[in-house]
Structure formats: structure tokens, C-alpha cells
Amino acid sequence: MTAHSMASTQLAAGMSKQPFSDRNDVEMVLLFPVPPAGGIKELKLEKEKKLYNHCFSGSSVLDWLVSQEKVRNRPEGLVLATGLLNEGFLQPAGELSKSGAEGGTESVLLDQPEAFYYFADSGFFCEGYSSDEDSIVKEEFRGAVIKQGCLLKQGQRRKNWKVRKFMLRNDPAYLHYYDPTKNEEDPLGSIHLRGCVVSAVEYVPDAKKYDVDGNLFEIITSDEVHYFLQAATAEEHKDWIKAIQTVSKTGK
């Protein structure tokens, strides 16, 4: 039995004093925490001359699940957290957590303080110390802006659609997205495009519920995270796909 199916089975049986009806309920508690319980605190963590922003450790995920009585113990929490990792709600950040995610036929979340993770739709980015100067360089933002503009993006968690301003950078190949109503320097999130697959799609689950139809395309990252977007016109649809395909092959 996989970790995903084990998580679903355990949750159906009820693992806490207030059992959840299904695994989606736990995802909502974990990813959309509400007072007074609070949620997993996103931090700036440092390791091997790199700063990981908007992330948290594998240990803190299990600490939170146990402390909030969402699971009875750490082994049960590990099954649940691993299920969330395999679903793509949690993403590995750093070599240690990526080794757990890529070490076998199925990803495994590591219960370690040095294993870093982040929410798929967060503002995560990594900063590296420059060897030439005593400062921090945002590696993701070094590349030249190849294309920018607004697209509709499907949320990774709620699956609703919102307009986001996108900036496509090359070398390194990243697609950063921002809230167009706010003048903020930090993006809401980023998509690493190196080795990704981008293609036009005719159907996206739940899209029509939000009156989203036509000029749709999908990005599948090398980590197999799926992003769905919509361009305003057929011409923009074609231009975005072509630009992302080029960057994914040439940018590091």
C-alpha cells in the first residue's frame, strides 16, 4: 500500500479526537490554518551558504500535526505528510529533502530539522551567498526578463483562478508571478522551468466552473508539479508557450 493510500485509509478511520471526513479536510487545516490553532510557520532557514525563504522543516510539519491533535503520533503524521508531498501540496527544498523525494518509487517526507519543505503556491525562493562579496544574491532573479504580462492562473490548493502578473526570466529559467494590484518586489511564487514541459490543453478540471475556457496551457516542471494558465488571446497563448519552451531548454 502506498503512503498516499495509507493516508486516505487512516484518515477515513479517524486518527484524532475530532476525526476528519476525508484527507481533503486535513489539507485544508494544514494549508489554510485559522486562529486560534495557527498553522505551520513559514520561516527563512539557512543551510550550506543558502537561505530558503517561506519554508519549514520536515520536523516542524510533524510537530504541528501532533500538537494540534490531527494525528495520534509521529508515524501517523509521517504517513499523512508524505501523502501531501506526493500530491504536490508540499515541495522539497534543498538536497536533503530532495533526496527523500527522489530516493525511491514514491516520495518520502523526512522527519528531520535539516530537511526543508515549502507550500507549492507560496512565495518560496532560495538565496545564495555570493563568493565574491559579502552579500546575498537572489539567484532566481539574475536572469534577463524575456517576456512579461498578465495571465489567469489556477491556484495550486483552492483551484480557483486569479489574474497574476508573470515575468519570464532566462539563465536561470524562472517564471515569477505577482499580484498585479500590489506594488511588491517579492513574487507570490516562482516556477523553475529548466527541463519543464509546456503544452496547449483544451480541458482543465473545474475551469468551466469559473468561466475559464480557451487559450489554456499547462506547465509540468521537472519535479512533476502541474500549473494551468490561460492567455487573453490566441496570439498571446502561442507566444507564451513558445517563449517558455525556449527558456526551458536554454536556461539553467
DSSP 6: H
pTM of the entire predicted model: 0.50
Burial of residue 80, with CB atoms counted within 10 A of its CB: 0-12 exposed, 13-18 middle, 19 or more buried: buried
Q: Could you tell me the residue ranges of all domains in the chain?
A: 3-129, 142-250
Other beta carbons within 10 Å of 46: 12
Burial label, 104 (beta-carbon count in 10 A; 0-12, 13-18, 19+): exposed
The pLDDT score that the predictor gives to residue 115 is 92
* Residues 68, 40: Cα–Cα separation, whole Å: 11
pLDDT tens-digit series, residues 47-106: 776 778 888 999 999 998 898 888 899 999 999 888 888 887 888 888 888 887 766 556
Q: pLDDT tens-digit profile of 163-189?
A: 999 999 988 899 999 988 887 777 888
List the CATH code of the domain at 3-129: 1.10.10.10
User: Which of 107-111, 119-123, 126-130, 223-227 bottoms out in mean pLDDT, i.e. has the lowest?
Assistant: 126-130
Per-residue confidence (pLDDT) for residue 183, from 0 to 100: 78
Please state the rounded mean pLDDT for residues 219-234: 92
- Count the residues in the chain: 252
* Burial call 108-126: b when 16+ CB within 10 Å, e when fewer: bbbbeeebbbbbbbbbbbb
Dmax over Cα atoms in the chain, in whole Å?
Answer: 56
Fold that domain 142-250 belongs to in CATH: PH-domain like (2.30.29)
pLDDT > 70 in the chain, percent: 75
pLDDT attached to residue 171: 82
> Over the range 5-21, which residues count as b (16 or more CB within 10 Å of their CB) and which as e?
eebbebbeeebbeeebe
Residue 195 near residue 130 (C-beta atoms within 8 A): no
What percent of the chain is predicted at pLDDT more than 90? 33
Q: Is 208 helix (H, G, I), strand (E, B) or coil?
A: helix
pLDDT, tens digit, for every residue of 130-166? 444 333 346 777 788 999 999 999 987 778 899 999 9
